Amino acid sequence: MSLLEVEGLEVHYGGIRAVKGVDLVVDEGELVCLIGANGAGKTSTLKAICGLLPSHSGSVRYSGQEISKKPVYELPRRGLVLVPEGRGVFPQLTVAENLAMGAYARRDGDVARDLERMHGLFPRLAERRSQTAGTLSGGEQQMLAIGRALMSRPRLLLLDEPSMGLAPLMVAKILEIVREIARQGVTILLVEQNAKLALEIAGRGYVMESGVLALAADSKSLLADPRVRQAYLGEGAA
């Protein structure tokens, strides 16, 4: 049984079918990426998985249980956490308060230790712990958003375009952190437009095109696939 099993997922915006029957699986311990161009339906897929968008049809099973009809707020308690697109930090709260808010769904009192762990993982956040999140740079906000999600001790982390709007150096850094988190045993489904970097850290990848999965393979073969190279890696038609 896979940790996450999506079958025939469809998302409609009024009459527009944004996601037209997506099947994907993520196994425990995997780092899987979902790549595709702008408007391919990646974010919609992710939002539908965690219930932020209502799915039109299809099923989403998380550790064997159907969750597509479950309310969003219940999922973090079960270890499924989304880092939303555009980061979504609480701008007027301090870094420390943002991180503490991440542990909201937890009932145990061991938050202080996890806070220390986050400071180890993100030294930049430790330096800025009493600064408000709104004053951080884009990259630091992304770190904070990821750190906040980790505070809930997720089993499955859904990352929506963590590289969005960041400088190339920062993108590499963020994705390095994502790889590190996966190494520590968190299962990750990563949605990215930056196909090359995403495939370099992920074990497997799905390629999404106008609402359907066009390709699914391990990262190596996707990186070598001429169609992927042409469409996403910026290589001109041979």
Partner 1 sequence: MSARAKPPPVVFWSAMVLIVAVLIVLPFALTQIGTTWVRVTNLALLYVMLALGLNIVVGFAGLLDLGYIAFYGIGAYTYALLASPHFGLHLPFWVILPIGAAMASLFGVLLGAPTLKLRGDYLAIVTLGFGEIIRIFLNNLARPINITNGPQGIIGIDPFRIDGFSFASYQKIFGLEFSGPTKYYYLIVALVAVIIALNLRLQNSRIGRAWEAIREDETAARAMGINTTNLKLLAYAMGASFGGLAGGVFAAIQEFISPESFVLVESIMVVSMVVLGGMGNVWGVVLGAVLLSFVPDILRFTVQPVQQWMFGRMLIEPEVIRMLLFGLALVLVMLFRPAGLLPSAVRKRELAERAE
Site residues, partner 1 (CB under 8 A): 50, 52, 71-77, 81-84, 88-94, 96-97, 100-102, 104-105, 130, 132, 134-135, 145, 148-149, 152
Of the two residues 135 and 230, which places its CB atom closer to partner 1 in the complex? 135
Interatomic CA distance for residues 187 and 205, integer angstroms: 14
Interatomic CA distance for residues 88 and 56, integer angstroms: 26
Of the two residues 157 and 197, which places its CB atom closer to partner 1 in the complex? 157
Of the two residues 157 and 222, which places its CB atom closer to partner 1 in the complex? 157
CB of 144 to partner 1, least distance (A): 11
Say how far residue 63 (Cα) sits from the centre of its chain: 17
CB of 82 to partner 1, least distance (A): 5
C-alpha separations of 74 from 26, 50, 54, 71, 81 in Å: 20, 10, 15, 6, 10
Of the two residues 35 and 136, which places its CB atom closer to partner 1 in the complex? 136
CB of 209 to partner 1, least distance (A): 26
CB of 16 to partner 1, least distance (A): 20
Q: Which residues contact 85 (CB under 8 A, 6 or more apart)?
A: 43, 160, 161, 164
